[in-house]
Structures are given as structure tokens and as C-alpha cells.
Amino acid sequence: MPVSASPSGPLGIAVLGAGKMGADHVRRVDRLTGGARVAAVADPHPERVAAVAGEIEGCAAVTDPLAALDADGVDAVLIASPGPAHEEALLAALDRGLPIFCEKPLVPEPEAALRVVLAEAKAGRPLISVGFMRRFDAEHQRLKALLEADELGAPRLLHCRHRNLAVHSYFTEAMLITDSVAHEIDSARWLLGQEITAVQVYRPTAALPGHTGLNDPQLVVFETDGGVVVDVEILANGGFGYQVQTEAVCARGTARIGEAHGLMTNTAGRWGGEIAQDYLTRFADAYDRELRAWVDAVRHGTTVGATSWDGYAVAAVSAAGVEAQRTGRRVPVELAPRPDPLMNTV
């Protein structure tokens, strides 16, 4: 069922969370040619919400996140608060029948993710799109198309590197998995069309010098039900830039994405290039495409990209990853039975 907003008017969006990602999405929605407008921004931090909402004419600024869902002109919700706050917002929005774009992770814990999946099933129609933006990145889409076309034969390995310049001061070791490697969990499942069945995490014995306390970097290894092995280097505070790279090793060849550095120079016996400094630059086009696609999908009463079930699968694999990180053991992944999204199961 399409949303009840006037079909000719812009879709009114409440943005929950006015931090780094929320502020960026507010500006993005504002630029989306006429299809949507930010009707309300909510953040418990009063100065932050005033600054972000103040950039948009006629936008309400509220410090109670749930009050934003009931603000005038709100037809849909974009959740950009920290992961642990997502469940409350998701359940409140589902309760109101509002279409939702939820930044990744859906929620960090699998039990909470399953509650969300079941609440959406109870609503009887798909309402949740999860912001795993790599699905909208041109290079990731080309790699997926190549693998699907079977041009290189069956995939055997995926080598992934995920390097950040720096992460938030509140980042924990578990968040290396639940917040950062969550992307590789989603993209590996999506690229391969396979489920992850076990996780192992290797940690160097010493953290990087001058570091924040995170045992950084780490190597996370996944096994899939199609017999593929996926290794992910996660580096949270690398200090030099942002790199997301994937190489697929297949039966008849390999394919690599994420190597491009934009401008390359040759001068006086040297060559060099640029490294993006963060995801907002590296994935700017992907974020634009995913939000445009979401606004279109909402107008047609549907969702785009990762579903709540994908969000649940990521949370289940993440939980196994955190356990593997803690114990040093190989941890199998168990997924709950999948509810039929169109059935009122509860």
C-alpha cells in the first residue's frame, strides 16, 4: 500500500539522529529534487538538532526522538541514531505504519533484530529498508553482475579490506564487528547469494602504537554455505584514509574493486594519488542513489536494498563474530526460521 502523503507533494521525512550521518542525510534529502522534504529532525542533543534542522526551512526540531514521528507532515522515517537506539525507533515507527529507512546496523543484537522482523511481519507489508549502501555503489554492483553472469566461474575466496581513518571515541572492540564488519557481512551475503555459517577472528597481540585502546586491526574470517571463505581486514583507526576493497578469487579468474584513487600524478621520479578520507566521500554517490531509490520505493508502497531479514542475518553473524573475538574460537552461525513477510505471524 503506497503512503497516504499527497501523491503530488513531497514525502515528509522525520530524521532521527543529527550526528555525522543524520546531518549528511538531512542535506541529501534536501537536495533530492522535489521528491522529499525533511519535516522534522530529532536528537536528544539540543544544540545539534537546532543546527541541523535550522538548515531546512519549515523543519521541526525536537529533542524527543519519538515525538518526531507524530510531527506535522511526517510520512516516513529515516533512522540515523546509534545502533542500540534503533529498536525503539523501529518498533514505534512500525506501530504507526510508517515506512522506514534505517541506517545500518538494523540493530546490533540478533534477538532485537528478530523482534523487529516479527513486528514488520505483523504490519503485513514491507516497511523497512536498511542502509547498507554498498548495494548501491557502482563498483559493487559491477562485481555482483560479473559474479552472477558466471564469467569467472564459481567464487572461492573474497578478500576484503575495510580501513577507516578514525572511528568515534565511543567505539568498542565489539563495534569493529557490529558497526564496521557489518558491511562486509551484508555485502558478502549479497555478492555471493550465500549465507555465512561460521566466523573466526584473529587479533594481533599488540595494538597499534598511540592507539585508543581498540585491538586494531583484526582479521575476521567467514565460511559460507556455498563453500566460499571470506577474509576481512578491519582497521578502525588507520590514520591515513578510508579504503574499502574487495577481491573475488573465482575458478577462472579474479576481480577487484575499491582500488581507484581519483587523481593520479607522475612527477620528478614519483607517482601518487589520493585516498578518500571517509565514507561520506567514498560512498557519496551510493548514498544519493539509495535515498533516491528509497523515496521512490516508499511512493510505490515498497522497500529497497537490504530488508529487515538481511538486517537480522547481519546481527546474527555479528553476534557470532563478537563471540569469536572474545573466545578466539570458531563460532557457528545459527539463523532463526524466516517468517513469511506477508503473513501476520504474531
Ligand X SMILES: NC(=O)C1=CN([C@@H]2O[C@H](COP(=O)(O)OP(=O)(O)OC[C@H]3O[C@@H](n4cnc5c(N)ncnc54)[C@H](O)[C@@H]3O)[C@@H](O)[C@H]2O)C=CC1
Ligand Y SMILES: O=C1[C@@H](O)[C@H](O)[C@@H](O)[C@H](O)[C@H]1O
Question: Which residues of the shown chain bind ligand X in the complex (CB under 6 A)?
Answer: 16-22, 42-45, 48, 65, 80-83, 85, 103-104, 131, 133, 168, 179, 279, 283
* Closest CB to ligand X among residues 64, 150: 64
Residue 80 touches which of ligand Y, ligand X, none (CB < 5 to 8 A by kind)? Answer: ligand X
Q: For cell 549465507, name the residue.
A: 195
For ligand X, the closer CB: 79 or 250: 79
Q: Collect all residues with Cβ–Cβ distance below 8 Å to 274 and sequence separation of at least 6.
A: 261, 262, 263
Q: Is 317 exposed, middle or buried (0-12, 13-18, 19+ CB in 10 A)?
A: buried
Residue 222 or 242: which CB sits closer to ligand X? 242
Q: Look at residues 263, 264, 245 and name the one whose alpha carbon lies nearest to residue 137.
A: 245
Q: Which residues contact 316 (CB under 8 A, 6 or more apart)?
A: 110, 113, 333, 334, 335, 336
Residue recorded with cell 510531527: 71
Which does residue 180 touch among ligand X, ligand Y, none (CB within 5 to 8 A, set by kind)? ligand Y
What minimum distance in Å lies between the beta carbon of 196 and ligand X? 19
Binding site for ligand Y (CB under 6 A): 104, 164, 167, 179-180, 183, 279
Q: Indicate the DSSP class of residue 83.
A: G
Nearer to ligand Y, 175 or 319 (CB): 175
Collapsing DSSP states into helix, strand and coil, what is residue 42?
A: strand
Residue 325 binds: one of ligand Y, ligand X, none (C-beta under 5 to 8 A by kind):
none
Q: Give 222 or 279: the residue with its C-beta nearer to ligand X.
A: 279
Closest separation in Å from C-beta 26 to ligand X: 11
Distance between CA 130 and CA 9 in Å, rounded? Answer: 25
Q: Would you tell me how many other CB atoms lie within 10 Å of the CB of residue 72?
A: 9
- The minimum distance between CB 279 and ligand Y, in angstroms, equals 4
Q: What does 16 bind: ligand Y, ligand X, none (CB cut-off 5 to 8 Å by kind)? A: ligand X
How far apart CA 261 and CA 273 sit, in angstroms, is: 6
Determine contact, residues 142/151, Cβ cutoff 8 Å: no
Determine contact, residues 28/288, Cβ cutoff 8 Å.
yes
- How many Å apart are CA 62 and CA 279, to the nearest integer? 27
CB of 83 to ligand Y, least distance (A): 8
- With CB under 5 to 8 Å by kind, the binding choice for 124 among ligand X, ligand Y, none is none
**Cβ atoms of 22 and 80 closer than 8 Å:** yes
- Name the minimum Å distance from CB 64 to ligand X: 9
Q: Whole-number minimum distance, CB 183 to ligand X, in Å? A: 7
- Of 104 and 135, nearer to ligand Y (C-beta) is 104
Q: Which does 51 bind (CB under 5 to 8 A by kind): ligand Y, ligand X, none?
A: none
Residue position matching grid coordinates 530524521: 15
Distance CA 131, CA 305 (A): 8
Residue with smaller CB distance to ligand Y, 39 or 220: 220
Choose between 75 and 109: whose C-beta lies nearer to ligand Y.
Answer: 109
Contact partner, 28, from ligand X, ligand Y, none, Cβ < 5-8 Å per class: none
Closest residue (Cβ) to ligand X? 19
Task: Please choose which of ligand Y, ligand X, none residue 82 contacts, taking the beta carbon within 5 to 8 angstroms, the exact cut-off set by kind.
Answer: ligand X
